[in-house]
Amino acid sequence: MNIAICFDKLDPAPWVQGLQKAFPQARVTAWAPGAPPADHAIVWAPPQQFIDEQPGLQTLFNIGAGVDALLQLRLPPSLKVVRLDDAGMSVQMAEYVCHAVIRHFREFDGYDADTQAGKWSYRKPRSRADFAVGVMGLGVLGERVAKALQVFDFPVNGYSRSPKDLPGIRCFSGAQALPEFLAATRVLVNLMPLTAETENILNKDTLSQLQKGGYVINVARGKHLVDEDLIALIDSGHLSGAMLDVFRTEPLPADHPFWRHPKITVTPHTSARTLREESIAQIVGKMQALQRGASINGVVDPQRGY
């Protein structure tokens, strides 16, 4: 078995070494133009040239949960695209979102501003019952986030394309249920996959349906959010702020208004990073399953986009 690794702006050497150690029966190489044919590939933002030069590829393993950029390439219909199920990302995402929700709920951003100014202050405790958290997208990451939020006694709503049944979580599904989900939500966490249907889904119309004083946490893709609509709704007072980890252009341009807005917190796409050892173990397991003719999780449906 020949395995190619093709990364954009990421050193493939540790992955080549780690995969070769974990799967000694295979031949693992970093791709370069003109490289010999491979059976499987592990990729991150590969160029179209890689796909065109590897017509015999059976499987593309993407080292991330989102495959929207990969599906924009011209891929042969027979090529199977596989995303990571978790590989250590879900617990990181749960940490990030719980931090963001608690920071907002407990007004720690306000305490930070006061202490920076040398001011000793108190704020009246708020009721968790008034801060229903809505998680848009109930895949592996979204489900872990929703369950983690329950530990802190927040009312948790979940929204997904197809019906879900999660104990203790009020689940909504389908486009017809989106308005009801939004109206029941004060803190919105976006973990939707990016597809043609979900691009720009966080816009003036949808965000206006959140409860007054709503807060937005976007940890999915920058193209989900209409930037100017978010700013307008915060400035109008309908939304109280946002914490954003993903952006339409990354790194976020220095002149972007998100940097300077007092009610928007920016982090550099760090909510859930791919963990190499966990990812390699998962990918090797899936390759071995395919060798046996077994089915695997994480196979992407090109029509759905995830």
Spell out the residues 6+ positions from residue 54 whose beta carbon is closer than 8 angstroms to its own.
Answer: 4, 37, 38, 41
Q: Tokens 């954009």, residue?
A: 8
Instruction: Work out the number of other CB atoms within 10 angstroms of the CB of residue 56.
Output: 11
Q: Any catalytic annotation for residue 276?
A: no
Q: Any catalytic annotation for residue 269?
A: yes
Helical spans, DSSP H, in the chain: 13-22, 48-53, 89-105, 108-116, 140-150, 178-183, 204-208, 227-236, 276-291
Q: Tokens 């009312």, residue?
A: 155
Q: 84 by DSSP, 3-state: which?
A: coil
* Nearest-10 Cα torsion for 172, 65, 284, 80: 80
Nearest to 221 by CA among 249, 242, 241, 240: 249
Catalytic site residue from 269, 273, 276, 292: 269
Catalytic site residue from 221, 224, 256, 292: 221
Nearest to 210 by CA among 243, 186, 228: 186
Alpha carbon distance 214, 182 (integer Å):
10
**Positions marked catalytic:** 221, 269
